[in-house]
Structure 1
Amino acid sequence: MAISHLSSGEIASLLPLGDMLEQTPTTALFKEERLEVMRIVLPAGKGMPVHSVDGPVTVQCIEGEVDLEMNEGHQILHAGDLIYLAAGVPHALTAFQNASILVTVVLVSSGELQGIAGGRRKHHDDDLEMKWPENE
């Protein structure tokens, strides 16, 4: 049976799973052409091996404690912590405690990689005033 994704306008709870964590599967909440959001459930001692993603990623720890390993070293994510990873940054995850995390991935095609890999886009489609450091 396929897992159903959220429909536009549908609400999903991201409250900590608590005692239900070990019975709850990892779930792709939705996937669109350019965006994927997943709730990843990691029992203590389990993790994800080193991998990288073509687009930028955020990882938010909803509950538990997770070790995020990168080339620069380790970051420990606690409940409520959020980390941003640029496109192509190799990383691995290991749960110190039962944990659930919210992962958001910007999906890009190979033709778009040159424009964003390792950097930020400086154009946008909205009316927000963007301020960039002078040395960029």
Structure 2
Amino acid sequence: MRLETVMSSLDRLLDGQALVLDLAHEHAQMTALLPDKHGRTARTILKSGALRLTLISLAPGGALPDHAASGPITVQAIEGRMQFAVDGVVHDLGPGSIISVGAHVRHAVTTEAGVTFLLTVAMPESVGGAT
């Protein structure tokens, strides 16, 4: 059974002139809610114009199947390791590693021991980005 938990943004700001984000605090809140071994938890921490930042945790053995984003993305490993596949090449990413992927480029993520990463997406205007 696959479970996915998305934490409500009703109790915090996602946009503003200047926001300070505490990744350690966001990560601690997510860790308490991480579901079973095939689960994932995602928390949007910024949604401003074309920019989206989402903190994502995958449990041990977790995966995000092959998909593509509408805009360019970066993925930064925060804790744990992941295997990030792009165009048939698998990149092993650990804490501090960042990968950049262009719009509409298919990619997939797997993790053996679990991982938390920060996903940044620059959304194009046609799907709700900046006007």
Q: Greater strand share, 1 or 2?
A: 2
1:60 matches 2:69:
no
Q: 1:44 aligns with which of 60, 81, 96?
A: 60
TM-score by length of 1: 0.70
Asked if residue 6 in structure 1 is aligned to residue 6 in structure 2, the reply is no
- CA shift for structure 1 position 69: 1.1
Q: What's the secondary structure of 1:45's corresponding residue? A: coil
Identical counterparts, % of pairs = 28
**Mapped contact 1:64–1:79 kept (Cα < 8 A):** yes
| Residue 77 in structure 1 maps to residue 93 in structure 2 | yes
Cα deviation for residue 47 of structure 1 reads: 1.5
Does 2:39 align with 1:21?
A: no
Q: How far apart, CA to CA, are the structure 2 residues paired with 1:45 and 1:2?
A: 25
Q: Return 5+ residue gaps in structure 2 as ranges.
A: 1-6, 35-40
Task: Describe the SS at the equivalent of 1:23.
Answer: coil
- CA shift digits 1:75-134 (9 cap, x unpaired): 0110110000011110011122221100000000349xxxxxxxxxxxxxxxxxxxxxxx
2:104 is equivalent to residue 94 of structure 1: no
- List structure 1 segments (4+ residues) > 6 angstroms apart after TM superposition: none
Q: What is the CA-CA distance between 1:11 and the residue it aligns to?
A: 2.3
SS in 2 for 1:38: strand
Q: Secondary structure at the match of 2:52?
A: strand
Q: Which amino acid aligns with 1:75?
A: H
How far 1:12 sits from its partner (Å)? Answer: 2.3
> Which segments of 5 or more consecutive residues in structure 1 lack a partner in the other structure?
112-136
C-alpha RMSD of matched pairs (Å): 2.6
| Conserved? CA contact 1:21–1:99, under 8 Å | no
Q: What is the CA–CA distance in structure 1 between the aligned matches of 2:95 and 2:111, rounded to whole Å?
A: 12
Cross-structure match for 2:38: none
